[in-house]
Structures are given as structure tokens and as C-alpha cells.
Amino acid sequence: MPKKRESRGRHKGGKGYVERIQCDNCGRLIPEDKAICVERYYSPIEPQLAKELEKKGAIITRYPVKKCYCVSCAIHLGIVKVRAEEERKAKQNVL
């Protein structure tokens, strides 16, 4: 049976087994290496208030928040795009 991707859609390499984590959107259990993780910065202060305080010279800290999504949620949220078939084939041939 032909395989669709050389990596089988994972970053595991030759590790064997990888822990499972929960998707932050739907709660699905997925392998840690297959999850699509995004680091975004979160500020507890509202954006309008933050702009006013920054104009006055205040320093507002932003906290990094790491969110991990399953493939279907990442596509739904627009983090990952579905590429055309020609683009997929071109990426696979390059080594």
C-alpha cells in the first residue's frame, strides 16, 4: 500500500512511541509530534487601555501561551491551509 507522506504526517523519526496530548480546541487525544502548536502572546489588559498606558510610558507585560491543536482544528481555525495537489507534489520531490 503506498504511503501518502514520507513522514506519515509526523515528526517522530525513529522514536517508536510518543506521548499523547489533548487538542486545546476540541479535546481530541493526538500524538505530541503530530499536533500543530502555536505560541501566541496574551495580555490580561484590554487592548484599548493598553494603548493608552503605553502612550503614557507604562510597560505592559505579555505572557506567551502555547496552544496545541489537532490537524482538523488547525485547518478549521486557519492556522494551516490545505494546499493544492500540485503544490503538495512539488514539496515532496525536493530533498
Per-domain boundaries in the chain: 20-93
Q: What are the CA-CA distances from residue 79 to residues 42, 59, 61 (Å)?
A: 17, 30, 25
pLDDT of residue 76: 96
Q: Which residues contact 93 (CB under 8 A, 6 or more apart)?
A: none
Q: Is the pTM of this model over 0.85?
A: no
Q: What are the CA-CA distances from residue 26 to residues 3, 10, 77 (Å)?
A: 27, 20, 12
pLDDT, averaged per 10 consecutive residues of the chain (95 residues), comes to 81 89 96 95 93 93 95 95 78 53
Q: Is the dihedral of CA 40, 43, 47, 51 positive or negative?
A: negative
Q: 80, 68 in Cβ contact below 8 A?
A: no
CATH class of the 20-93 domain in this structure: alpha beta
Residue 52 three-state SS: helix
